[in-house]
Amino acid sequence: MATISFARGVPSADLLPVAELQAAIARAMEQDATGMLLYGDPMGYPPLREWVGQRWGHDPAGVFVTNGSLQAFALLAEMLFSGSGGRAAVEAPTYDRTILTLKRFGATVDAYPLTEEGIDVDALEAAIAAGRTPGLVYIIPNFQNPAGNVTSLAVRQRLVDLAAEHGFWLFEDDPYGDLRFAGEDVPRMYDLDTAGRVIYSTSFTKTVAPGVRAGALLLPEELRKGMAYIANQTYIGAVHFAHAAVAEYCAAGDFDRGLARVRPQLEERKDALVAALVQHLGGRFEFRAPEGGYFLWGRLDGVDTDALLPRATEAGVPFVKGSDFFVDGSGTDHLRLAFSAVKPGEMDEGVARLAALL
Ligand SMILES: Cc1ncc(COP(=O)(O)O)c(C=O)c1O
């Protein structure tokens, strides 16, 4: 029985732009072999920094390209917390690797409930008033991992205002923002920020391919030197070989063509998943269908998803259990279903297998 995996937040192989990347690698080698094959700038491959700066509206001198956005975040967490400790605030639930990374570098992680609008800003404000001001607030504003929700403009504005008032860094982790298939974009916190407290993070994992390991931060002036230093100490320079190919891919217009191709396919997968959930689980599974991204998050009434997971894995339908996304291990009746890697024709079978276990 072939596995139908709802676990990994990756695209299926048929969504990868294989031919376009093959051509981009060849062109990059023709045009800039030495740039690709030697060590380079610790801030990243210059042509890709230029492209990112133009697309996301930032001085290329402050664009920091790394081997995936998780590495960028890890370098920042190391710089801010290692040896000194401090507080970081996250949404509950949030991306599990962020929690682990923050803890690894010695941060105390405070989690604030995620509402339909975004992080509970009242709770965050009350904690600040009580003396628990974070050094960093980590937010996934679009198609959140795992919850799939989008932070409202009002919450974004309040976060930006709080960052300006209390001097914390506001990390806007946005790997999914370009994968909207319904509804309207909400302005980035980066664009609302006038105090230079927002660090915007983007990644090519979900928009090109995970294996190119390319992500970028838009860094405020104050953090640039420190991040370049820590990158240099960690790996001298990021993988220019891959990043030159990504730069070529983007410059040729394949980035936008790729998005236009993938968005409707993701929507089709989401629709197929929703239809299968309604058919096989009816009212037992509470969820809200996302307007973009990779994930559908929901609550299985009265089911312990920690206990369900090994059985689901054995039945060839792994998912990610809710408790992985909470600092305190709560969320045990929740689960995250990634629809990105499951073809529409397999969705019904996958959900039927899951339903049969209940
Ligand atoms: C919210 C979030 N941030 C960061 C990452 C890591 O992405 P990258 O592959 O760019 O390191 C992921 C990957 O799933 C993610 O969901």
Domains by residue range for the chain, with CATH: 18-254 (3.40.640.10), 259-356 (3.90.1150.10)
Q: From atom 14 of ligand 1, which residue's Cα is the shortest distance away?
A: 9
pLDDT value at position 12?
A: 86
First to last CA, the chain: 19
Q: What are phi and psi of 36, to 5 degrees?
A: -80, -30
Which one of 69, 114, 151 would you pick to mutate in the ligand 1 pocket, going by the greatest count of ligand atoms within 8 A of its CB?
Answer: 69
Q: Which residue do the tokens 């920042």 mark?
A: 76
Rounded to the nearest angstrom, the distance between the alpha carbon of 70 and the centre of ligand 1 is: 6
Q: Give 28 Cα–ligand 1 centroid separation in angstroms.
A: 26
Ligand 1 center–CA 357 separation, angstroms:
30
pLDDT at 142: 98
Ranges of beta strands (E only) in 105-197 are 108-115, 118-119, 136-139, 169-173
Predicted local confidence at residue 90, as pLDDT: 98
pLDDT at site 1? 84
Q: What is the pLDDT of residue 326?
A: 96
Picking from 183, 171, 173, 119, the residue whose alpha carbon sits closest to that of residue 142 is 173
What lines the ligand 1 site, CB under 6 Å? 9, 68-70, 95, 140, 145, 173, 175, 203, 205, 210, 215
Task: Round to whole Å and give the CA distance between 64 and 216.
Answer: 5
Q: What is the pTM assigned to this prediction?
A: 0.97
Phi/psi for 69 (5° steps) reads -75, -25
The atom of ligand 1 lying closest to the CA of 9 is 14
Nearest-CA residue for ligand 1 atom 4 is 70
Residue located nearest, by CA, to atom 5 of ligand 1:
70
Spatial contact of 192 and 163, defined as CB atoms under 8 Å apart = no
Determine the pLDDT at residue 255.
Answer: 98
**Half-sphere exposure of residue 257, counting CA atoms within 13 Å on the CB side?**
11
137: how many CB neighbours lie within 10 A of its CB?
28
Alpha-carbon dihedral 352, 354, 357, 358, rounded to 10 degrees: -90
Alpha helix (H) ranges present in 221-343? 221-235, 240-251, 254-281, 305-314
Q: What is the CA radius of gyration of the chain?
A: 20
Closest C-alpha residue for ligand 1 atom 16: 145
Q: Find out whether 30 and 229 touch, Cβ atoms under 8 Å.
A: no
Helices in the chain by DSSP H: which ranges? 18-37, 46-56, 69-81, 96-104, 121-129, 153-166, 189-192, 221-235, 240-251, 254-281, 305-314, 344-356
Q: Report CA(145)–ligand 1 centroid distance (Å).
A: 9
**351 CA to centre of ligand 1 in angstroms:** 25
What whole-number distance in Å separates Cα of residue 72 and Cα of residue 67? Answer: 7
CB 139 within 8 A of CB 189: yes
Q: Residue 115's beta-bridge partner residues? A: 118
Per-residue pLDDT of the chain (358 residues; tens, 9 = 90+): 899 999 999 998 999 999 999 999 999 999 999 999 999 999 999 999 999 999 999 999 999 999 999 999 999 999 999 999 999 999 999 999 999 999 999 999 999 999 999 999 999 999 999 999 999 999 999 999 999 999 999 999 999 999 999 999 999 999 999 999 999 999 999 999 999 999 999 999 999 999 999 999 999 999 999 999 999 999 999 999 999 999 999 999 999 999 999 999 999 999 999 999 999 999 899 999 999 999 999 999 999 999 999 999 999 999 999 999 999 989 999 999 999 999 999 999 999 999 999 9
Task: Determine the distance separating the centroid of ligand 1 and the alpha carbon of 202, expressed in angstroms.
Answer: 9
- For a mutational test of ligand 1's pocket, the pick from 8, 16, 95, 336, i.e. the residue with the most ligand atoms closer than 8 A to its C-beta, is 95
Give bridge partners of residue 344 from the DSSP assignment. none
